[in-house]
Amino acid sequence: MAKNTDPRPWVNSYDKGLDADLAIPNVTYVNLLEKSMKENPARPVLHYMGRTLTFRDLDDLSARFASYLQKNEIGQGRVVGINLPNIPEYLIAFAGALRAGCAVTGISPLLSPGEMEYQINDANADALVIMDVLFEKKLYKIKDKIPGLKKIITAGVGDSLPPVKRILGSLLGKIPKGKIMPVPGKEVLTFKRLFKENRPMVSQIKISPEETCLIQYTGGTTGTPKGTLLTHANMAANVDQICKWINFETGHDVLCSAFPLFHLAGLIFGMVAMATQNPQCLIPDPRNINHICKEMAERRPTIIANVPTLYQMLLEEPAFKTLNFSGTRIFISGAAPFSVESINAMESVVGKGKVMEVYGMTETSPILTMNPFRGKKKIGSVGLPIQNTMVKLVDIETGTREVGFDEEGEIIASGPQIMKGYHNKPEETDNALREYEGSKYFYSGDIGKMDKDGYLYIVDRIKDMLIVGGYKVFSREVEEKLYQHPDIEFCAIVGVPDPKRSGNEMVKAVIQLLAASKKKDVKKLEQEIISFCQENMSPFKVPKIIKIVDEIPLTSVGKVDKKMLR
């Protein structure tokens, strides 16, 4: 393999005029947010189910939330949890908590009561903003197991709807409503009451860029979720990097993303939009494809960001193919692999060169690499390391030797967006953040390879890599080949123990068929897929087991849940 002698081979592939080294301002995200509120108060900040809020509205409502927190001595060094779908109250609580000096931890509405209990206690949350339905179904069950939580603020999905839609939705029973009950030792109140009882006054406090902005929890796909400590400096840096990379135009762009805000991929693009005085379309239910299409038709977004599975769902919706995407500059895809076949299908609808794959992790705030905005996008690649970011690939066994071009290795990275560490987990922090050639690098646990132009390709997670007969089998490589089969919609490769060889694994393919293919004979189709694999793969990569299922389990952000599959 050719040795990589250039420390940053990717810079030559950057868009013309893009600086490889940014002078990132030493500010907090609150500085960026309040600048938008002051400079363009009448500009829309969000669109939600027919209602539009302006930056002036966000300023007023978030200041009322911040005032409530400060009156109750929940400020710097404290934590606010947000357990909501993508509704206006999420952004209001997020902005208000940060303006009060708090850190925010986003809590997935899909967590079980026990998982919620773990995150609330581990993050030491003082206040929790929660959807009323979740209060009744989940939080009330653990009310005696979260002693540190002092304040509970409830919101409903219909609270911010236009009056007519709210009344009709309630009459027709389309708006779920949860029962709110007192909790001994804790104050429980609604968002509406909080807004009514608190004036928009925020005590001026000095927040340092090095203070924690987010305690963002990892997916927990391989173990207990870890709270990632991301500072204001981390988030402000990544916002600046993204803004410059895709040329977010201040006051002229519109974002549409169905990424959940409790997930960092969704939150970061929302933060970029707010920092650049641009509105975003809030999608409360990412499975409501019809609603997403209507939002795109009405709001004419210039930037769209989603997970690959949602793009594939959109491609199956006839209305999506009738939309006018001439004004949409880019379709960002991240958080999971997007097959080459699917990208080509997507671009046949939205326009050639418009799909941009990106890569990152919770620990990297989250973006590490992006395909060029204007320049060459290599389909199948997650792009180039962004500005001020060093990426290296090192041997999987020791993590101490840099590998050559087109050779698989563990991805390690250094840059201003790399986390401070894991909350209350010093050993895990030391294992993830290590010295390499005199600098601190984050060891990602992802296997990748880089070509001579600096484009990065994700091969697998180290923990998803299989050992078959002494050979390494990368699950994504097998999945990419399976996606070429005409009957397959989704697929996932997992390893299962080989009963004939101790310590060895067999390749198992779990497959979800396209709707039109579900009528075919399953046994015959399984054999056809195995034959296809035998013709197109090395023998040790061919799945020994084919399992056709109605639906492959996905995580809350649309990633294949391999932990559940195993």
| pLDDT tens-digit series, residues 38-52 | 999 999 999 999 999
The pLDDT assigned to 556 comes to 65
Q: What is the mean pLDDT of the chain?
A: 91
443 phi, psi to nearest 5 deg: -90, 115
Lowest-confidence segment of 300-309, 465-474, 523-532, 554-563 by average pLDDT: 554-563
Mean pLDDT of 221-230: 81
> Among the CATH numbers 1.10.3720.10, 3.30.300.30, 3.40.250.10, 3.40.50.720, which is that of 465-565?
3.30.300.30
Pick from 270, 214, 277: nearest CA to 59: 277
Pick from 62, 124, 50: nearest CA to 98: 62
pLDDT of 220 > 70? The answer is: no
**Higher per-residue pLDDT: 345 or 336:** 345
Domain boundaries defined on the chain: 1-23+233-415+429-461, 29-38+49-207, 465-565
pLDDT of 165 > 60? The answer is: yes
The pLDDT assigned to 392 comes to 97
Task: Report the C-alpha gap between 208 and 232 in whole angstroms.
Answer: 8
**Higher per-residue pLDDT: 343 or 505:** 343
Same topology, domains 1-23+233-415+429-461 and 29-38+49-207? Answer is yes
Residues forming a β-bridge with 214: 104, 230
- The fraction of the chain above a pLDDT of 90, given in percent, is 72
**Higher per-residue pLDDT: 489 or 29:** 29
- Contacts of residue 112, Cβ cutoff 8 Å, sequence gap at least 6: 138
Residues 252-261 have pLDDT tens digits of 999 999 999 9
**Higher per-residue pLDDT: 376 or 5:** 376
Task: Report the C-alpha gap between 235 and 237 in whole angstroms.
Answer: 5
CATH numeric code, 29-38+49-207: 3.40.50.980
pTM: 0.86
User: Which of 196-210, 373-387, 465-479: highest mean pLDDT?
Assistant: 373-387
Which letter, b or e, does each residue of 414-426 get, where b requires 16 or more Cβ atoms within 10 Å of its Cβ? bbbbbbbbbbebe
Task: Report the C-alpha gap between 462 and 440 in whole angstroms.
Answer: 21
CA angle 61, 67, 71 (to 5 degrees): 155
pLDDT of 168 > 60? The answer is: no
* Top CATH class, 1-23+233-415+429-461: alpha beta
Mean pLDDT of 204-219: 93
Task: Report the C-alpha gap between 110 and 263 in whole angstroms.
Answer: 12
Task: Report the C-alpha gap between 157 and 176 in whole angstroms.
Answer: 8
